[in-house]
Structure 1
């Protein structure tokens, strides 16, 4: 042992030790310098040899045969950190002596941070250098790769979070990964700038580890869609207190960093085990994948905790070897989650576009229907105005003329004129009936006024009339077609009164799925259809049938009555509401 300012080894007090050696097992509270002296016999000094110091904690100066061959930058506070890499030297003459050679290593360390001196290897340069490269790869390069992966992935998902603030899972993952990357810098840092003491450096590292564990817990909570406000506030308070104490009292927090490390480790383990149980219960594929990734640090961190607390000896932390796999696996799960969210947004956009197109078509159709309805209503209004004018003007004049002629002395000419005027009156009534009805009026409603008038007329003429309507309720033919059907019935009934001499007439209207059949039968005198093909109003009936696209059928024989039927195809459009 020696004090901080010792520049030469002591002359007495040497104690034999077995390497690797942690001096706190011998001097638990010693902060300062310990000298290690090693001697070996070199049979031949003609060729250089390789010298490897596997592990030195914290800083060292190396002397070979009394000559300084290496010295760390800071052998007093703020101490350099030689333990991050193995030290390799190529030794040749004149430093290398044939026979006995003496190696002195001055180690500066602090009892709170496991001061130690590792194994020493002397041998052929290629073999010793290979050992140095292996140690460098596992102890330094892996830590550097781990820090780089964590920093890159944390930054990447931090950018994701900046663009998707509502998805806080990425923000908490980025926070945890970046803070852990800052903590991991401890394993590759040669200097402890900007801190003046190792205590300050170690206190901050412990606070960063605890903060990373806290962020990781909240990340898993958010990934499960959970919030624990009181627990999260407690974590925030603990982190603020830990960081404040680390910055304000580093000389106390640094040597007792194990409390924060144990607390952070418990947070990590508890969060991982609870999440694994949750993933097993929910059976979500992404959560199971994440749980599998989290099993890796659980299996390796036990070794690292034992090494950190000095329970076992070694110089390689396994978590640095497996942490990149864990980070990449977790990032893959989060990337899958992000891609799924993007796909959902894309699908939503597609669905939204389709819905907009459908809505646009529906709106266009609605506007077209409203426009058509407005035109129809305008036409109906014009018709109603025209009908009112006809009813009030022409209709009144017509009825007045008929009444005047009926009161005048009867003559054949007067009777003929009155009959013609009454036909005009009946036709006017049909026009008024079909025009003034609502657009949605069915055929049964339109036939009712006609039936009433003609039933009275048949009774006056002594003709028994029978009307049978089947299935014409809710049948809408439209004003024009309905008027043609009613005119057909009216002309057929007029022919019965004028020409048949019948005592009984039957009118049947029947609807089937594809057509409407209207039929008028009488028991009158009948006629020869071949001889009267163009007479008795038949030409007018045929014209109406042609306009309706219907089929007209006439059956009659002398003394056997007459049957006139009309079969109208149903191509009507539904009424406009």
Structure 2
């Protein structure tokens, strides 16, 4: 691609050109043809790649004065001599060739080097027909004006592009980091990819070697691919920035880009120039389509920032259209606008994205403030609700305690009262004082059990066997007084520690079952099994009395205060309770799943 520089003054003398091979160190003796400078040798030798020597002559009248030599460009590499003295030579004149096409050259021609009369400027140029091989404008004159012109040209061709590279790479990295932190903001990611592709293309303007490739053709193919990738990423950025997703069209676009890129990288060198032209036209078509879509979407339902940015994209598209015409030689010029317009477009897009990010951040902060206000209100409401719920739970706890105490009084003290009343009713005559005192002590002990268990504060203060011992003693005495045998089979419970409430529920179910057997069964024998086995606690009370009425012989006891109390306690324990009669035997069976932390030694007891 030719450099961004206006035409200089026409060469004041004569100019000739002649071809030679790549390794020639001296100009040929014949084959010279007259040319005009600036000169693109495709005009004389279409399709020629190699070395062309330019011989420029001019006359000096009078005593020679120190002069300046300003060569706007030569493509790609060259050697400069004046009056047979070599003044400048590029490092590599064959592949990997020096890429000095975008470097303006300024040399001081001291007075002793110049002659009165005819002088000769000899320039050797190595180039390829695919890259517009040429010798740019050549000027000789007062040193200072030409030096200033060369510095201005270098500023435009190199420094401005280096600045653009730095800004583009920095902005690309910045928005890449933003996208990595906020993946949902796809526009940031595509903008970063767009900048990466543009950096790959812009390096072409400042690089003086084909590194990391060993041939200019490979380098040029990669640059063309970077250019079309830039326009593809730019299209994706515009769509995401406008909140649009067109999956089928996007897939078709990337399929075409991939195909063009593959062909460009694989095409033979002889067809590379045509393929680069195809890539340039395809990129321009995509650029204009993107700009048109951007303007249409922005002005139809976009915001002010999107509309302003769409106009910037349109101006950039027009500038690149001009550059395309120059690149394809439809317009006979070598002045490119992209060097000036693209940095402005890049900065404009970055500022718009930053402004959008700031606006979104402000909305998020406002939303956070509103959320904090709502959270504070909700917290206050929740605190008030929890306070009311706490009062309700306290009330329920008090009611529950009253119900539990009622059950305990019914199952424990009530059962003993009934047993003692029955003893008094069946006894003819007066009971000995010691027996009456024993009855009163038993009721006292049962009341003490209720109080002790209700006021216990620590988990498993007493083992189940220790809690059972007083009840076993009293119930055995009661049954013995009334000529009823009671047999106890206890296994592995002497080190079994349960929560106090669970122990009390188990003992009350046992007490209610024994009380029912005593009151209603008219049995002669009662067998009690309380054993720990396979992670369960088994309680079984069986008597050989008259059995249960048919209405009560069911797996789920629901009749009578005692049976309902037993069922309520079984539900609290998460246990299985069954009551049934068969063949003159009435059985109450309870199975409780033990907690995993109910540790203890398993010492059998009979």
Q: TM-score range by the shorter chain?
A: 0.5 to 0.7
1:341 matched to 2:360? The reply is yes
Helix, strand or coil for the counterpart of 1:27? coil
Over 3 Å counting, the alpha-carbon distance change for 1:215 and 1:252 in structure 2 is farther
**Out of 276, 294, 306, which is 2:295 matched to?**
276
Partner of 1:150: 168
CA distance in 1, matches of 2:356, 2:389: 47
CA distance in 2, matches of 1:183, 1:274: 24
Partner of 2:58: 40
Over 3 Å counting, the alpha-carbon distance change for 1:133 and 1:369 in structure 2 is same
CA distance in 1, matches of 2:124, 2:396: 108
Partner of 2:27: 9
Partner of 2:88: 70
CA distance in 2, matches of 1:300, 1:112: 23
CA distance in 2, matches of 1:368, 1:113: 84
CA distance in 2, matches of 1:156, 1:253: 39
Query: Which consecutive unaligned segments of at least 5 residues does structure 2 have?
Result: 1-18, 404-606
Helix, strand or coil for the counterpart of 1:70? strand
Partner of 2:77: 59
1:125 matched to 2:151? The reply is no
Partner of 2:206: 188
Partner of 2:555: none
Over 3 Å counting, the alpha-carbon distance change for 1:246 and 1:316 in structure 2 is same
How far apart are residue 3 of structure 1 and its match?
1.8
CA distance in 2, matches of 1:86, 1:312: 22
1:514-551 Cα shifts (integer Å, max 9, x gaps)? xxxxxxxxxxxxxxxxxxxxxxxxxxxxxxxxxxxxxx
Instruction: Give the TM-score normalised by the residue count of structure 2.
Output: 0.60
Helix, strand or coil for the counterpart of 1:33? strand
How far apart are residue 65 of structure 1 and its match?
0.5
How far apart are residue 140 of structure 1 and its match?
2.0
**Out of 233, 244, 258, which is 2:277 matched to?**
258
How far apart are residue 11 of structure 1 and its match?
2.1
Helix, strand or coil for the counterpart of 2:33? coil
Helix, strand or coil for the counterpart of 1:84? coil
Helix, strand or coil for the counterpart of 1:52? strand
Give yes or no for contact 1:279–1:288 (8 Å, CA) kept in 2. Answer: yes
Partner of 2:256: 238
CA distance in 2, matches of 1:76, 1:51: 25
Helix, strand or coil for the counterpart of 2:358? helix
**Out of 319, 324, 328, which is 2:347 matched to?**
328
Q: Any residues of structure 2 matched to 1:365-384 within 5 Å, and which?
A: 365-373=384-392
CA distance in 1, matches of 2:25, 2:397: 114
Instruction: Give the TM-score normalised by the residue count of structure 1.
Output: 0.63
Helix, strand or coil for the counterpart of 2:101? helix
Helix, strand or coil for the counterpart of 1:88? strand
Partner of 2:191: 173
Give yes or no for contact 1:203–1:250 (8 Å, CA) kept in 2. Answer: no
How far apart are residue 44 of structure 1 and its match?
5.0
Partner of 2:489: none
1:216 matched to 2:234? The reply is yes
1:88 matched to 2:106? The reply is yes
Give yes or no for contact 2:172–2:191 (8 Å, CA) kept in 1. Answer: yes
1:205 matched to 2:233? The reply is no
Give yes or no for contact 1:289–1:333 (8 Å, CA) kept in 2. Answer: no
Query: Which consecutive unaligned segments of at least 5 residues does structure 1 have?
Result: 385-577
CA distance in 1, matches of 2:175, 2:62: 59
1:332-371 Cα shifts (integer Å, max 9, x gaps)? 1111111122122222222222221111101011112233
Give yes or no for contact 2:37–2:137 (8 Å, CA) kept in 1. Answer: yes
How far apart are residue 191 of structure 1 and its match?
0.6
How far apart are residue 86 of structure 1 and its match?
0.9
Partner of 1:292: 311
Give yes or no for contact 2:160–2:339 (8 Å, CA) kept in 1. Answer: yes
Partner of 2:127: 109
Give yes or no for contact 1:303–1:318 (8 Å, CA) kept in 2. Answer: yes
Over 3 Å counting, the alpha-carbon distance change for 1:94 and 1:48 in structure 2 is same
Q: Any residues of structure 2 matched to 1:450-461 within 5 Å, and which?
A: none
How far apart are residue 53 of structure 1 and its match?
0.7
Partner of 1:308: 327
1:286-336 Cα shifts (integer Å, max 9, x gaps)? 211211221221232222111111223444321111111111111111111
How far apart are residue 205 of structure 1 and its match?
0.7
CA distance in 2, matches of 1:162, 1:23: 50
How far apart are residue 77 of structure 1 and its match?
2.1
CA distance in 2, matches of 1:348, 1:234: 40
Who wins on radius of gyration, i.e. which is larger? 1
Give yes or no for contact 2:284–2:320 (8 Å, CA) kept in 1. Answer: no
**Out of 24, 38, 41, which is 1:23 matched to?**
41
CA distance in 1, matches of 2:296, 2:390: 64
CA distance in 2, matches of 1:119, 1:108: 17
1:357 matched to 2:369? The reply is no
1:349-401 Cα shifts (integer Å, max 9, x gaps)? 222222211111010111122334556778999999xxxxxxxxxxxxxxxxx
Give yes or no for contact 1:61–1:72 (8 Å, CA) kept in 2. Answer: yes
CA distance in 1, matches of 2:258, 2:63: 60
1:105-136 Cα shifts (integer Å, max 9, x gaps)? 11111111111111111111101101111211
Give yes or no for contact 1:245–1:253 (8 Å, CA) kept in 2. Answer: no
